[in-house]
Chain A
Amino acid sequence: MLQKKICMLGGFAVGKTSLVRRFVQSIFSETYLTTVGVKIDKKSVVLSDKTVDLILWDLAGEDDIGSFRLSYVRGATGLVLVADGTRAATLTVALTLRERTEAEFGAMPFVLLLNKSDLADQWTISDDAINEMRQSGYQIYLTSALSGESVDDAFIQLASLVSK
């Protein structure tokens, strides 16, 4: 049995919980209920040559990065970094969280999700910025927990990265 611990990292209200819900249960809710501590979910992903169980740690978002508890990330093999495309500042938060986990636990595979792609008219992250990050090797997905756009793709991609 192949199991992998994955952590959802990002600022508060960017949609970490919603993305997990969409991926695991295929549902979405408009109501915001902030996560405190951690909620753990499990989902099997069938890859071409194997099946991997993702143990998804949906962590509380951070308002200030200083208070982030690294103890939650211990034992993780991959990260889902989530930013809210309608709040450009959350991109910095996500990237900083990755740096901090890397400094503590070493580099691990990750995907970067720019979430809420359905809110195109409030979008604040430029195509140029996205392309630039892609150039430097980031795997970026424009996701929507509301519509489900690219959500499965992103998780499946990470599953194949961590089970290599």
Chain B
Amino acid sequence: MDEPPDEVRNWLCSFVYNDRSIAYVKIDDRLLVAGKGGRVEHYGLSSLRIGEPVAGQLAFIEGLLPYTDLPFHIPMVELPNGRVTDLHFFSDNACIWLLFLDATAEHNNKQRIQQKAYETTLLREREHQLNEQLESANEALRKSQEGLSREYQRSESLLLNILPASIAERLKTQEQIADNHAEVSVLFADIVRFTEKARSVGAETTLAILNSFFKAADLLSEVHGCEKIKTIGDCVMVVAGLPLSRPGHADALAQFALELRQAGADENFGGEPLKLRIGIHSGPIVAGVIGKRRFAYDLWGDTVNLAARIQTSAEPDEIRISDATHKLFGQEFACDLIPEMELRGAGRVQMWRLIA
């Protein structure tokens, strides 16, 4: 093989000597330091003692000698003095040569690049992790929000089922509601001989009848601007002038009563038309919502009690109204005066029979 020209050889030699310090350590077959040379001080090897075991003096040698499969190379070993070296192991017949080739500059350069790469990777990993966490948190939030709005809709539809809409609205913002209503009309209606007939026609028919009776009450309430307050067994309670006070509440409720009676007459309850007993009275009442966990909208006051008494006193198919209601009529209704009579808890009462 041709030698390189002298200039090139000289350049190579000076490059290796000046830019990459070289030192060597010679180790004999008993693993004692046999010699050292080159720029030993550069690698902190000045104190290396010749003739003594290498094991105690060079920590990195542990486990590597005796080693047969040479040459062998370990790149970029940081020495205790901070220098970084490439370590080359060679052997001739008697000795192992340990060659130190400075790699500090290369090491620092690689470290700078590697550092950037790893830091970027770490940031990306962290970002990815945070995104995942965010996503799963969002998912959980969305689920609980869905649950909430379902809950909310459920409770709202429950509220609307039992309460007038305007009251339900207020209930969502307030705790307790109690209103004084100066003037309203209150109606009670129940089915004549209900218990007895229910027994004879059976539960299923009875439920169907009750259902259509209450439905008719609901429908007519809407038509005439009244509120069905509640049902008690086979009895409905309906009020006009609530929750917003209005003129003509007596007229409206009278019209309601006439049509409810007609609706009953069109029904078939055990072979007969459905007969109702209806009573109406007008006056001041207190309306409100009670209950902390389950809300119920209800009316209180003498007006309510008297309306109930009047209803129970009515004959089958009769709409019986108090004199107070009668006086409030603005429209023409056909009415018969009923001779004044004693009602329990109310004394003598003047009442009318609403005919048409």
Contacts and interface: CB of A to CB of B under 8 A. Distances in A.
* Chain A partners chain B: yes
Interface of A: 1, 3-5, 12-13, 32-34, 36-40, 42, 55, 57, 60-61, 63, 69, 71-72, 74-77, 87, 122, 124
B354 to A, nearest CB: 76
A146 to B, nearest CB: 17
Contact of B62 (A5, A61, A122, A124): A5
12 contacts: A1-B55, A13-B122, A32-B115, A32-B122, A33-B115, A37-B76, A39-B78, A40-B77, A69-B75, A74-B63, A74-B67, A75-B62
B119 A36 contact: no
B144 to A, nearest CB: 21
A72 B118 contact: no
B72 A37 contact: no
A69 B235 CA distance: 92
Contact of A1 (B56, B84, B114): B56
Interface string B51-93: 0000110011011100100001111111000001000000000
A4 B64 contact: no
B199 interface: no
Interface string B92-119: 0000000000010001001100110111
A124 B119 CA distance: 20
A61 B56 CA distance: 28
B111 A38 contact: no
Given A3-B55, A34-B111, A87-B125, A63 B118 contact: yes
B121 A63 contact: yes
A13 to B, nearest CB: 6
A78 to B, nearest CB: 10
A113 B66 CA distance: 31
A13 B124 CA distance: 14
Contacts of A71: 72-75
Contact of B60 (A33, A40, A69): A40
B119 A42 contact: no
B77 A13 contact: no
B252 to A, nearest CB: 66
Interface residues of B, number: 29
- The residue among A3, A36, A61, A124 with the most chain B CB atoms within 10 A of its own CB is A36
Contact of A55 (B59, B76, B121): B59
A54 B125 CA distance: 34
Contacts of A36: 76, 107, 110-111, 114
Contact of A75 (B63, B114, B125): B63
- The residue among A13, A34, A60, A77 with the most chain B CB atoms within 10 A of its own CB is A34
Nearest to B86: A37
A69 B218 CA distance: 86
A122 B130 CA distance: 10
A63 B113 CA distance: 13
A40 B44 CA distance: 15
A115 B107 CA distance: 27
Contact of B114 (A34, A74, A77): A34
Nearest to A7: B63
B111 to A, nearest CB: 4
Contact of B115 (A4, A34, A57, A87): A34
Contact of A40 (B59, B107, B115, B129): B59
8 tightest A-B CB contacts, nearest first: A75-B63, A37-B76, A5-B63, A39-B78, A36-B111, A55-B62, A75-B64, A5-B62
A38 B78 contact: yes
B109 to A, nearest CB: 9
Contacts of A75: 62-64, 67
Contacts of B72: 71, 74
B118 A13 contact: yes
B122 A63 contact: no
A104 B74 CA distance: 16
A28 B266 CA distance: 92
Contact of B63 (A63, A76, A87, A124): A76
Contact of B77 (A38, A63, A74, A77): A38
A60 B118 CA distance: 12
A87 B56 CA distance: 39
